A and B are shown apart, each in its own frame.
Chain A
Amino acid sequence: MLEKLNSFPPLSMVEGTTDRELIRHNEYVELLKLYEQLYVQWFGIYIDFLRTLMTIIATANSEFVKSPATLEPRQIYNTWIDAIANGTDALFREPVFASKLAKAFSTMLDVKKASDDLVESSYRMISIPTKSDVRKLYKEIYLIKKKLRELSEDKKASSTASSLGVRVDNTKE
């Protein structure tokens, strides 16, 4: 369906459409594709989880039926909670399920990145500072702060050493 959307001419693709707008259109489609992927992946995880849960509950219930003595509600709860805890633990440890979870999480990050890129390209069109511009600035600030801290520590170390009459050996062992 999304492939068709890609070939469907959007409103902006009329005469005079710039390359930049075409790129933005492709970015939207890419984002939609990622959302679809994410939905499919999470739905798969949900189904796997639900199946496991139903199996666990069915097994636990059959144990209750077999049990000759009348169980207290607390005993039933404990058995039930232990069964679910052990079952989910086993499911989460399964390599296939764990990799599915990791994949879905990775797609979430892809969605976030794609939407950030989209916002970024929109900001660039109207000359507004973008996230990557701000990050560059943060890096500059970090490096300046780091240098300042190091200089002040050097100064402190020198004054401590001179007041104690010892020489600070700056060579690495």
Chain B
Amino acid sequence: MNASEKDSLVEPFLKSSVVPPKLESSSHGGPSLAIDLETMPSDVVHAYGRVKLLHYKPTISTGLLKIPILIVYAMINRYHILDLQHDRSVIKQYLDRGIDVYLIDWGDPGPEDMYETIYDCVGYIDSAIDFIRREHSIDKVSLQGYCQGGTFSAIYAALYPNKIRNLILQAAGIDFSIGEGMIDVWGKYLDADKIVDTLGNVPSDLLNFGFLMLDPVHLMLDKYVKFYEDINDQEKVKNFMRMEKWIFDSPDVPGEVYRQFVNELYKENRLVKNEFELEPGLKINLKRIDMPLLMIVGENDSLMPPESTLAIKNLVSSEEKQTFSVKAGHIGVSVGTLAHKELWPKVVDWIADRSTGYGDKNKATPRKGAAILKSKR
């Protein structure tokens, strides 16, 4: 490479007006990107140990909708993907329409949390729902689950259909027999028992490495070449940095949750067979889901193929079932430009149409089976 060629390579950096992000020490001891996410303000309104319930207040003061929504994100990575920056924030879209948004922050599981199971996760969701019902003096709440959080939400809605007004499943894993992605190829060889018995909680670095290996050339090489090409565009650089921060700032996954998810849901596909037992003797029957159901899928989602989410359509007894799809991948559904232009306004309308004419006159009336979780304790 001659001198002029070298100059042409460094030129974009020299011209760049972007201040390179500082490297700071993260909680893991490694470097972290010192760029702030452009998140909406929220308050912690309830906490159960490390798991917190966040409340986002609507940005408008009139025309508020009566039914709040609880969002349950996956335990892999963090919920910030729904609120990365204002122009790509799902949460902001809800708030601008007058919907109270609640969200479960799973926090950072420590080694002491390795014995937590999906039963505990569903218990946390139940505590959050009860808190919201009390706060708003209503008996039903809208519930939205994304990815693994969608699986948890479907399980919860099957247990407590009388507490859920609308169920929104976004790229949720329901039928795990569908899929020809790399994750399905490797999934066959995954020994969750050995991983959990040896490591306890599943380290985030291991999960991140696994996700990078699904498409190593684009995720570890091409992405950074494209970033280099856009180095002079300050907005693009910031977007990129925020996304990188989200990708690599991920918590560990409680070992037993991982074991149960991989073995019983992913490998044995028990949920669609109505054979999944949250606890011994507590089987989940998806037929009990009877509330309006909205399925949101990304047409190019290789991580959770659309068919995996849409499989729930034929397994529930809901009369009203709607699907919204967008040309996007698993993450693009939340942050993609097209998704924010075409998909999310439709989703907000759908939720808003089903969140009115229903208020505090309806008091909680636990019906048979309402206290299933508690009765099992």
Give residues in A with beta carbon < 8 Å to B. Answer: 77, 81, 84-85, 88-89, 92-93, 98-99, 101-102, 106, 109, 112-113, 116, 134-135, 138-139, 141-143, 145-146, 149-150, 153-154, 156-157, 160-161, 164, 166, 168-173
Find B115's partner among A113, A139, A150, A164 (CB 8 Å cutoff).
A139
A77 to B217, CA, bound (A): 12
A106 to B363, CA, bound (A): 54
CB distance from A65 to the nearest CB of B (A): 22
CB distance from A145 to the nearest CB of B (A): 7
| A93-B225 contact given A153-B127, A169-B370, CB 8 Å threshold | no
Q: Which of B59-67, B88-96, B184-192, B289-297 contacts A (4 or more CB under 8 A)?
A: B184-192
Instruction: Check if B366 sits within 8 Å of A169, measured CB to CB.
Output: yes
A104 to B81, CA, bound (A): 33
Could you mark each residue 103-134 of chain B with 1 if its beta carbon is under 8 Å from any beta carbon of chain A, else 0? 00000000111111000100100110010001
Chain B binding surface SS class: helix
CB distance from B260 to the nearest CB of A (A): 14
5 pairs across A/B with beta carbons < 8 Å? A109-B194, A135-B114, A143-B115, A149-B48, A153-B374
Find A77's partner among B48, B225, B281 (CB 8 Å cutoff).
B225
Q: Residue on B with the closest CB to A154?
A: B374
Chain A binding surface SS class: helix
Instruction: Check if A92 sits within 8 Å of B182, measured CB to CB.
Output: yes
Give residues in B with beta carbon < 8 Å to A. Answer: 48-49, 111-116, 120, 123, 126-127, 130, 134, 182, 185-186, 188-191, 194-195, 197-200, 213, 215-218, 221-222, 225, 281-282, 288, 363-377
Please give, as numbers and ranges, the residues of chain B lying within 8 Å of A142 by CB-CB distance.
112-116
| A138-B115 contact given A84-B217, A150-B377, A161-B366, CB 8 Å threshold | yes
CB distance from A100 to the nearest CB of B (A): 10
A157 to B377, CA, bound (A): 13
Instruction: Check if B374 sits within 8 Å of A150, measured CB to CB.
Output: yes
A146 to B254, CA, bound (A): 15
A83 to B375, CA, bound (A): 58
CB distance from B125 to the nearest CB of A (A): 12
Please give, as numbers and ranges, the residues of chain A lying within 8 Å of B126 by CB-CB distance.
153
Instruction: Check if A170 sits within 8 Å of B374, measured CB to CB.
Output: yes
